[in-house]
Amino acid sequence: MATAEKISPAVDVAAVNASLASASAEDRIAWAVHEFGDALVLSSSFGAQAAVMLSLATRAAPGIPVVFIDTGYLFPETYRFADELTVKLGLNLKVYRADFTPGWLEARHGRLWEDGVAGLARYNQLMKVGPMQRALVELGARAWLAGLRRTQSSSRESLDVVGVQE
């Protein structure tokens, strides 16, 4: 749930994971808010189940920056849901996009997501990872909350509560 670019040396990630393994979502979020304070952000894709995480996180940390990566390929319903939740929950929404439009991407590279695993990886890097990395830097984030559900895929089944990236 919480991932960090740089966890302070005082944090024992294995111990934190052990203590948070059976903790409630509220307690996990409270730990992250206590540990990272204003250097904590939340990312959301504004999928159907996003409201729960957004509500929990904004109750624990009103004003937490909510990073929304707009690929330009989202459903109209996703944009409407983001607008609705932004108003309803008073979100501090921060929208990030690639430095180019979907039309530019397709004109130069085609529909990368149709080019197998390598094409999908390139698409994700250009349209999702790059903008997220820029968001983390611009917002001064040391950690972020992400609603990754273990039931979503086999690659997520064994995710720890807290993970270190890069």
Q: pLDDT per residue over 66-117, tens digit each?
A: 999 999 999 999 999 999 999 999 999 999 999 999 999 999 999 999 999 9
Q: For residue 1, is pLDDT > 90?
A: no
The sign of the torsion formed by the CA atoms of 111, 116, 119, 125 equals positive
Structure tokens at 123: 């698409």
Question: Can you say whether residue 94 is alpha, beta or left, with left for phi > 0 and alpha for psi between -120 and 50 degrees?
Answer: beta
- The predicted pLDDT at position 150 comes to 55
Pick the more confident residue, 1 or 133: 133
C-alpha dist (Å) from residue 92 to 33, 59, 115, 117: 16, 13, 36, 34
Q: What's the pLDDT score for residue 18?
A: 87
pTM over 0.75: yes
**Residue 91 structure tokens:** 């979100």
Model confidence pLDDT, tens digit, residues 11-46: 788 888 788 888 899 999 999 999 999 999 999 999
Whether the pLDDT of residue 148 is over 80: the answer is no
* 79's tokens: 């944009």
Residue 157, amino acid: E
